[in-house]
Amino acid sequence: EEIGTLFGYSAENRGVGITGGVDFVELDGPIVMLRLKGRFWHQRPTVLARVGAYLIGRIPEIIDVVIEDEYQLTDEANEAAL
């Protein structure tokens, strides 16, 4: 619930087409890999940075949070989610 509130994942946002979600892909030692899916209000690199800061702030052993595919950080990926 806390992370949903932090990133605006609510029924109201989904109602206006903001359907973005973040999935855990894998943990490789101290590196977390994530997947972005759906449409985000904020730019995708900002979303990744905020999720990374959130995770690192709660799990200090994490040294980096990376994206599964760089394409997921593009505006094109965000628009394709419409």
Which pLDDT tens digit goes with each residue over 11-43?
665 555 457 888 999 999 999 999 999 888 889
Strand pairing category for 31-37 and 21-28: antiparallel
Q: Could you give the CA distance from residue 82 to residue 40 in angstroms, rounded to a whole number?
A: 10
pTM metric for this prediction: 0.80
All residues at 6 or more sequence positions from 53 whose CB lies less than 8 Å from its CB, including other chains = none
How many Å separate Cα 76 from the centre of its chain?
16
